[in-house]
Structure 1
Amino acid sequence: MASPCLRLGLLRRSDRGPSQAGGAHHGPHATDPTLATAIRTVVVLAGARGMVLLVGSHRTLGEVGARSLVSLVLSGLATWASWLCYYRALQDGPASVVVPVDKLSVLVTVVFSVVVLHERVSRRYLAGLGLLVTGTLAMLG
């Protein structure tokens, strides 16, 4: 039986829903990952552009330094690759497995921030991270 969020269609993975007697595929798992990433990118770009114009950030574009620009471009490339992998994973596996694994990216981010950026984390923070990882693994097992 599908989880409530899957039944609501937020991340539905089933190939045949109750209204799909013909077996038509719907949702991100039925769309080519490259096309899905392009569509999602257009929506994100429109929203980001709208927000930049709304708050007036476009006036500070010339103040973006070369180092920041390189960092932002690399971050964008990582996001693009992540989205491609995410949609491909949704094609190959159930959302109930793909989504929790995707959320483990929090762990990767924390490790990166500690090792590369030398950020400090408290024991309480680490305990919370441990709970997050344990909960995710429990969902998969």
Structure 2
Amino acid sequence: MSQPWLVFALGSAFFAGLTALFGKMGVENVNSNMATFVRTIVILFVSASIITMNSEWQRVDKFSSRTIIFLVLSGIATGLSWLCYYRALQLGHVAQVASVDKLSVAFAIVLSALILGESLTWQTALGCLLIISGSIVIALPKF
């Protein structure tokens, strides 16, 4: 495959879809913040298991301060995203919540252009607008 990242991106999309479904089912009778905590513990164990199986452990004290800062910021953003996501799943329908959550793609495109200087081609801009449009159409109340 000439695009090896695509396999992992499709895997991410598939598992994110399962996340929405299982998350909705899991927050029915529990506080959404507690549900996020349990989910985070599971992710910790799964990640540690994968790192162990692949012998990929690294010494954190060898990381640059820049790496640590951005991994901490990413962790904070992920945690806040998950807390909001699980609360939204408790309150809304999976299709609506998941589609609005995918606006993260549009945010990532815009922020990567502004902050990282990544190119914003007409195809990327059009795709971004289509994602935004699709999220709005799915999230709107049904008439």
Taking structure 1 as the reference length, the TM-score comes to 0.74
Partner of residue 47, structure 1: 46
Larger proportion of helix: 2
Letter of the 1:111 counterpart: V
Q: Which structure: larger Rg?
A: 1
Shift of 1:27: 2.6
- How far apart, in 2, do the equivalents of 1:41 and 1:74 lie? 16
Taking structure 2 as the reference length, the TM-score comes to 0.74
Shift of 1:90: 1.7
Shift of 1:40: 0.6
Partner of residue 70, structure 1: 69
Structure 1's unaligned 5+ residue stretches are 1-8, 14-25
Letter of the 1:132 counterpart: I
Give runs of aligned pairs for residues 24-63 of structure 1, distance below 5 A.
Answer: 27-59=26-58, 61-63=60-62
- How far apart, in 2, do the equivalents of 1:111 and 1:31 lie? 35
Give runs of aligned pairs for residues 1-141 of structure 1, distance below 5 A.
Answer: 10=21, 27-59=26-58, 61-141=60-140
Structure 2's unaligned 5+ residue stretches are 1-19
Count of aligned residue pairs for this structure pair:
121
Superposed CA deviations along residues 36-90 of structure 1, whole A, max 9, x for unmatched, are 1111101111111112222222135443111100110111011111111111112
